[in-house]
Structure 1
Amino acid sequence: MSSTVALPATSDCKAATVYDILQEFNLPIGLLPDCAVDCKLDRGKGKLEVHLKGSCHFSLQEPYELKYKSTVSGHISGNKLTNLKGVSVKFMFFWVNIVEVVRNGDDLQFSVGMTTASFPVDIFTVCPRGGCGVDCKDGKLRKIKAKSLVSSA
């Protein structure tokens, strides 16, 4: 059962958490770590800004590692987060910014610009444990396998 959270045009997210907002826009809560301390949502512009307790780093199945800055922002609308800032993925030897997350049915497509990776949405039903900082040794979340990796050249 899905519920809609009614918020004013601009909200400081005290009545509803950022996780409620993600669900309202049909996105899983596991896109963000569990250490969000506050957020701001401008519904008119779709601008979302989330503040975490600190930066977080998670190891996923090789070759993926995720890193969150203490502030994550972007534009939210139905089934997608665009213009994303503050989240990067380590691919091969390089850290690249994730710029877009789009839900397409039961899959989430993560875009870093020229390349996208597709993951099952159900592996993002639980928030990664946050607040451990970039040097966290036990921040390993779980092994996640990409369904596909597509270059959009």
Structure 2
Amino acid sequence: MASFNQSLLITLITLSVTVTVTVTATADIHDMLTEYGLPIGILPNAVESYTLSPTDGAFTVHLTRPCYVKFDDQTVYYSKDIQGKLTYGSVSDVTGIQAKQLFLWLSVTGMDLDTDSGMLEFHVGVLSKKLPADMFSEVPECKSKACEHDSYTQSI
């Protein structure tokens, strides 16, 4: 009987550690971003569902379709599945987001908010680019093409 109780206790502890919260679009991830000190506009409006691990902040976002968003002169591509790790004021280990620099598409690997300067720093490999956080104060619309004037759009 003691070994059964120990096995049950170990199973319950394992389940509580590995639990991941799966949420449909009715519980908006954009609201969750503000709870982590990040602007809502870093993700487009086409979020279908997401998962978030309460233990380590690992997340997966599922969009209804891959898409493009234009932020001033910056074009960003979002794949249908985006993954990363969320901590307060920061997103790391990002996959599924690319930014167009000149003629190249570069993977965004992380984002950090500097509340003192009001800037959001995007990490693209060893490079980074700072943009005003207020550029991301609204949820952007997901577009199927990068831009009508771009000669190159990534196939989706």
Residue in 2 aligned with 1:114?
126
Q: Read off the aligned partner of 1:65 and give its amino acid letter.
A: T
Indicate the structure with greater helix content. 2
TM-score (norm 1): 0.77
Structure with max Cα Rg:
2
2:82 to 62, 72, 82: 72
Residue in 2 aligned with 1:44?
55
Q: How many corresponding residue pairs?
A: 128
Compare 45-54 and 14-23 and name the one that shifted more: 14-23
1:104 to 114, 118, 132: 114
List runs of 5+ in structure 2 lacking aligned partners.
1-18, 150-156
1:129 to 141, 144, 147: 141
**Superposed displacement of residue 48, structure 1:** 0.9
List runs of 5+ in structure 1 lacking aligned partners.
1-8, 139-153
Residue in 2 aligned with 1:22?
33
Residues 25 and 78 of structure 1 are in contact (CA less than 8 Å); yes or no, is this contact kept in structure 2? yes
**Superposed displacement of residue 65, structure 1:** 1.3
TM-score (norm 2): 0.75
Q: Give deviations 1:55-107, integer Å, cap 9, x for gaps.
A: 11123444x31100011110000100000010000101110000010001111
**Superposed displacement of residue 44, structure 1:** 0.8
- What is the distance in 1 between the residues matched to 2:40 and 2:70? 18
Q: Give deviations 1:17-43, integer Å, cap 9, x for gaps.
A: 211211110001100001101000111
Q: RMSD between aligned alpha carbons?
A: 1.8
